[in-house]
Amino acid sequence: MGFVSLLDENRVGALVAVLLAALASCIALAVPARAEGDEPYTVANYPVDAVAADAVTAKQKALAEGQQAAFRSLLKRLVPVTAYDQLSRLKSVKATEFLDGVVVRDERTSATQYVATLDFSFQPDAVRNLLTREGVPFTDEQAPQIVIVPVYVPPQPGKGPEPASLSAPRGSQMWKEVWAGLDLKYALTPVKLADVKPELTGDVIQKLINGDGTALSTLKEIYGSSLVVLAVAQPDLAKQRLNVSLAGRDAVGAFVLNRSYRLSLDDVAYTGETAAVISLGIIEGRWKETKVASTSQARGGYGAGAEQVHLIVEFRNMQQWQQLYGWLSRLPGMEGMEVGGLTARSAELVAYYPGGDQALASVLAKQGFDVRQLGGALLISPAL
């Protein structure tokens, strides 16, 4: 009887494995090709882990939680840090409404657990429209690719016993692996990793960390690119910290930045991964702030006669609002349109239009809109 029971369990387990494999294949095939310029809307190498009563439920739970978490990561990728507080308005947004597909890179299952590394792709236009409607500043323009060289420097001798995990070979391997595990291709600042070359001497590294600009030309000669950043990691055993320096030139310009992270000797890789994630976020943040700032400054450079206009747009439902927003944004002469507020039946907009309120009101009236002055704004209602 026990043998039959065990056999049944094995058959069930095999059946579950087949079903999960089939589901993974379907998911992988469900991802459309990315159009040029849409790469940032894929969140790759995303880890998921869930436990449930059975393997199928665990996988469903991992996918549901994973896509929501990946969506939050996507929004933080596109939005500058200075506007993160505005993302609180999007907490109730469901990732399923924006999901384009999922690719399974790696997965492991047991009777009650599902662990995997996944790529989540989201619908670019839908996400852009969401952020625009909510008036959240963002950029999805990728920077030119940069080269990052992970450099590991072992702890200084005489500061205490050196764990084997922090030796030069193992520490260097760890530091390279945590960088390789990041989402480098789809980042706003795409990254190509490079190894430490013999010409990259300790003297050159130290000059770069010290902010010596003369070493930038040396770095360019060594790696054949002007956009090269060293990510130098060195443990401090006495203080139990991992000191990380970013030094070189990215798409924004030359820079040096130093940060320190609490070093867990029991899990050095975890500290290294945290440092690498934050370091990539810093480089992305530099690019985002530059792009968002340049967009804002461009508003002062609109064509001759462009004046700021304030609009209050009335609509019956969100579908009509999306149609109206799209029509207004494509109206010839309309530039720099931003959503200042949004309710269930109306939206406040700020934009620039040649000739200002009067010219815009005339154009809208000819298109059948009901246009009225309300305070300092144009109240716009679509024809019924």
β-bridge pairing 228-236 and 146-152: parallel
Residues 77 and 213 in one domain: no
Residue 293 lies in a domain: yes
Of 282, 297, 312, the residue that ends a domain is 297
Asked whether residue 140 is domain-assigned, the answer is no
Residue 139 falls within a domain, yes or no?
Answer: no
pTM over 0.85: no
User: Looking at the chain, how many residues does it have?
Assistant: 384
* 206 and 340 fall within a common domain: no
CA nearest 176: which of 208, 149, 206, 146?
A: 149
- The contacts of residue 14 (CB under 8 Å, 6+ apart) are none
Per-residue pLDDT of the chain (384 residues; tens, 9 = 90+): 343 333 344 444 444 443 444 444 444 434 455 566 789 999 999 999 999 999 999 999 999 999 999 999 999 999 988 888 889 889 899 999 999 999 999 999 999 999 999 999 999 999 999 998 888 889 999 999 999 999 999 998 876 778 899 999 999 999 999 999 999 999 999 999 999 999 999 999 999 998 888 899 999 999 999 999 999 999 999 899 999 999 999 998 998 989 999 998 889 999 999 999 999 999 998 998 888 765 544 444 444 466 788 899 998 887 888 788 878 877 887 877 777 677 778 888 888 888 888 889 888 988 888 898 886 789 998 865
Q: Say whether both 170 and 293 belong to one domain.
A: yes
* DSSP single-letter state for residue 79: S
Domain end among 76, 103, 133: 133
Report yes or no on 351 lying in a domain.
yes
Are 158 and 256 within one domain? Answer: yes
Which tokens sit at 56? 């199928």
User: Are both 189 and 272 inside the same structural domain?
Assistant: yes
Same domain as 150, residue 107: no
In this structure, the answer to whether residues 166 and 280 fall within a common structural domain is yes
- 171 lies in the same domain as 262: yes
Do 273 and 327 fall within a single domain? no
Instruction: Please state, in angstroms and rounded to a whole number, the distance separating the CA atoms of residues 346 and 316.
Output: 8
In a domain, 194, yes or no: yes
In a domain, 199, yes or no: yes
In a shared domain, residues 197 and 291: yes
In this structure, are 276 and 324 located in the same domain?
A: no
Task: Give the end of a domain, one of 104, 133, 162.
Answer: 133
Q: What is the pLDDT of residues 311-348, one digit of tens each?
A: 999 988 878 887 888 788 778 878 777 776 777 788 88
As a dihedral over the C-alpha atoms of residue 294, residue 296, residue 300, residue 301, rounded to 10 degrees, the angle is 40
Closest CA to 106 of 93, 122, 119, 88: 119
Closest CA to 98 of 42, 57, 45, 139: 42
What type of residue sits at position 286? R
* Domain identity same for 16 and 85: yes
Nearest Cα to Cα of residue 127 among 98, 101, 102, 100: 98
User: Is 315 domain-assigned?
Assistant: yes
Question: The tokens of 258 are what?
Answer: 């130093």
The tally of domains found in the chain comes to: 3
Instruction: For residue 39, tell me if it sits in a domain.
Output: yes
The end-to-end CA distance of the chain, in Å, is 74
CA angle at residue 260 from 254 to 261, to 5 degrees? 130
Range of the domain at 343: 303-381
| CB hemisphere CA count around 171 (13 angstroms) | 19
- The residue among 354, 351, 381 whose CA lies nearest residue 368 is 381
